[in-house]
Amino acid sequence: MLRFDVVIIGSGLAGLTSALNLADHKKVALITKRLLLDGSSNWAQGGIAAAVGENDSIESHINDTLIAGAGLSDPQISRLVATAAPKAINWLINNGVEFDRETDVSKHLHLTREGGHSQRRIVHSADATGGAVQHALAKKVIAHPNISIFEHHIAIDLITGNKLGLPENRCFGAYIFNSRSGKVITFQSDYTILATGGAGKVYLYTTNPDVSTGDGIAMGWRAGCDVANMEFIQFHPTCLYHPHAKSFLISESVRGEGGILRLPDGERFMPWHDERGELAPRDIVARAIDFEMKKRGLDCVYLDITHKGEEFIKAHFPTIYARCLTFGIDITNVPIPVVPAAHYLCGGLLTDEKACTSIPNLYAVGEVACTGLHGANRLASNSLLECIVFSFSAVQDILGSSKPARPVLPPWDESRVTDADEEIVIAHNWEELRRFMWDYVGIVRTTKRLTRAMHRIELLREEIDEFYSNYRVSHDLLELRNLVVTADLIVRSALARKESRGLHYSRDYPHQLEIALPTILHSLPEISKSISFV
């Protein structure tokens, strides 16, 4: 057993920010299931939204967030985040993050614009902002004596009062599987922060890295956390279409800087779907591309930035230029073939303004959480911002709390399981799950498709639960177990929404209801799954 003041599960921007702000006061364990920089944050291209420009305002940032959220974004949370954005940018700069400047002389931050924003307010580091931020913070984390980093460690389940037979369902840590040694370690902590990211790998096509398997959401649900708005999956409109390109995102800022979406014959089509054209919110652009592809039987559409010139393209999009060139696509001369792909989960574990879940001493920060900021559709570049702001909130709440009592925790029990004789079932179930989620729970949905998906999920879950009950855990089994729980929550939420709103579009319910209400799922841990919709 290992004991820490705080255990943080996940090493993306939410995890690193929380660790750095806690470490001067607490002994921190940072758990990451692969390497420190393997999370989605490191992949982020566009930037961080903040009203720091001369003609911009916090009110404008709030208004753009609420419009994109399609009536479901919480106004108070939106104000909290937009108001804290300039502070978040300054904190990153003070911690060594180098953002692009207008010129070497002026030193003013260079701001770009993305879909859904009425102003240029995206602070960025070329087209690899996530990488610049993560590398700068990782150096600080690695050097801090109060932070212990555990790479190749994947969380199995949270340890809670219910599991210990205590009257209050607090969180006391987690069971963690060491993927290298094959051993399970009990991590005891006063406070636990879930910063595990999203669940893009539940879909066949995604911009997310392989680690995005819904771990925190599934663990929280099994422990008794409330979950909200899981039906709202943001499909990024522009993922590179190439047989050898794995999940490579073409940043929103390409359209923000003048990129035009075209059909194979060169005709522009976005003005047919929305007066904002390529700068419409992501859900509208993704549905427009999906419509044109299905209508015309296309494999992809094309994003054209060639008119901006070679010098501009290489200066603003060096990462995209270099990556596309490896596949023989010179974006200074030819348009980029693109398709939509699952990108971001707007729902998650329901949290308050302090990042607290419905279980005491358990926090959720980043894509794993549903804070109320994104509503039915996330505004571009609000995601990294949300990570920082709610990390600050969680840290403040932890440091202001009195130290809780530590009960005796039981060790992990594997006395009744054996080594798996065949693990091929894991690979087959993984492939089946991701394919039918893409076919039945994608950009455009129907009740019939969702019902089919639910039936498949029930069969898969029975197989996976049986496998989990009889054999020792493995990295792949744990991820599959979490993916099927997350898929179940997505489909249940989608079936409950009898309208089309934001990222959820149903052919059976194409109209939007007058009153916007969140979908909230209530979990009864270890007993049954009771669902209610508020």
Q: Which residues are known catalytic residues?
A: 282
Q: What angle do CA 20, 26, 28 make, to 5 degrees?
A: 65
DSSP string of 7-41, one letter each residue: EEE--SHHHHHHHHHHTTTS-EEEE-SS-TT-SGG
Q: How far apart are the first and last CA of the chain?
A: 40
For residues 310 and 299, what is the distance between their CA atoms, to the nearest angstrom?
27
| Residue closest to 234 by CA, chosen among 195, 276, 286, 301 | 286
Q: Are strands 122-123 and 111-112 parallel, antiparallel or unpaired?
A: antiparallel
Q: How many residues does the chain have?
A: 534
For residues 424 and 397, what is the distance between their CA atoms, to the nearest angstrom?
45
| Displacement of CA 247 from its chain's centroid (Å) | 15
Place of tokens 């073409």: 250
Alpha helices in 224-331 (DSSP H): 252-256, 282-296, 310-316, 318-326
| Residue closest to 66 by CA, chosen among 519, 516, 533 | 516
Q: 248 with 240: CB under 8 angstroms?
A: yes
